[in-house]
Amino acid sequence: MSKKRVLIAHILGAEGKQMLRERDDIEVVEFANTIEQGQFQALLESFDEVHGVILGLTRFGTAELQRTPGLQVVSRIGVGFDAVDIPAMTEAAVPVMVCANANHRAVAEHTLGFMLSLAKRTEALTHLVRDGNWHQRYDYLPTELEGREVLLVGCGRIGARVATLLVALGMRVKVYDPYLSPRQLPQGVEPVAVLEHALASADYVSLHCPKTAETVGLLSAERLALMKQHAYVINTARGGIVDEQALYQALVEKRIAGAALDVFLPEPPPHGSGLPSLDNVICSPHLAGVSREAVSRMAKLAAGNVLNVFDAEPNHDNAVNPQVFDRAVHLAQANSAEAIPYPI
């Protein structure tokens, strides 16, 4: 029996690796999550066939696709897909699968943690105690979240979960998402049609949109200039959605109060400089969606997405480009009554 070869980023959780290795028809090849792109392309070329890839940070586009003519599926360990060339994959009828519903709770809780840390000034107060400056505590009074206004930019699974948490805390939650109708939004939120108007009144601006050509630089210097001086920016989405140089200048000049960032461009950011070096910035190393529980869920989903495609039982809800499934069916019907290996 010929085996299907699956290349997996080594960060795939143990449960996912076990699912693949339990199958007699699967050959597993691991590669480093931080592999240099040229080395990754050479790895692809070293095999006569690669049928599936499970990716973390590694980019996958036309150059990689040309080196894998037998490719049947690309599976992401997570929900973001900005590192994958979706039009190229769709043209080649290769489904790109993500781990829907695997880590939205983790990202939402991380966002809430960021917001609480900013409001309660936990980092500054920790340093006061640690450095023996207890007497300065009244210079760093925290604030409350109840009654404050927050603007969520994007309201998919993550944004909706954040909204639910913040409404429960008594915050005034506004949502800017031009792709959703008001009836698709969580209860208790106020939809806004014009981003600029909402930025001007928000105490917190939290980003939860995907990184696309439309959203790169969405929070620009001009839009940052609309924000209140005591307002905060939170980004747990993707680096590059915020103009980071403009954000840096706004923070240095105290035109906004602070920021909490889990993502940067590039990653990792330069050590000792830029946004992480500022006193009014708290940050984490792109880990918001990587709780222990989420790692387990993502491992099983990422592996399961590959196996389901191989078994011709794909979960369409996990596909970024589900139209490739219809294309495969139509081609199969047009060519013969004999089942064509899925996908084409």
Average pLDDT over residues 7-17: 96
Residues 133 and 226 in one domain: yes
Residues 243 and 265 in one domain: yes
With H, G, I as helix, E, B as strand and everything else as coil, classify residue 154. Answer: coil
What pLDDT band is residue 260 in, cutting at 50, 70 and 90? very high
What total number of domains does the chain contain? Answer: 2
- pLDDT for the residue 2: 86
- Is the pLDDT at 328 greater than 80? The verdict is no
CB atoms within 10 A of CB 52: 27
% of the chain at pLDDT higher than 70: 94
Average pLDDT over residues 83-94: 96
Which helix (H) or strand (E) segment holds residue 106: the answer is helix 104-120
User: Is residue 30 domain-resident?
Assistant: yes
Residues 157 and 88 in one domain: no
| DSSP assignment of 265-324 | SSSSPPTTSSGGGSTTEEE-SS-TT--HHHHHHHHHHHHHHHHHHHTT---GGGBS-THH
Boundary of a domain, candidates 283, 310, 326: 283
Residues 116 and 134 in one domain: yes
Model pTM score: 0.86
- CA-CA-CA-CA dihedral for 81, 83, 86, 89, to nearest 10: -120
Q: Domain range holding 71?
A: 4-102+292-335
User: Is residue 342 domain-resident?
Assistant: no
Residues 250 and 126 in one domain: yes
Q: Tell me which residues are annotated as active site.
A: 238, 267, 286
Cα–Cα distance measured from residue 298 to residue 314, given in angstroms and rounded to the nearest whole number: 16
Residues 297 and 316 in one domain: yes
Express each pLDDT in 182-223 by its tens digit: 999 999 999 999 999 999 999 999 999 999 999 999 999 999
> Could you tell me the CATH number of the domain that includes residue 128?
3.40.50.720
Cα–Cα distance measured from residue 141 to residue 236, given in angstroms and rounded to the nearest whole number: 26
Residues 138 and 65 in one domain: no
Residues 65 and 210 in one domain: no
Express each pLDDT in 275-315 by its tens digit: 999 999 999 999 999 999 999 999 999 999 999 999 999 99
Residues 52 and 111 in one domain: no
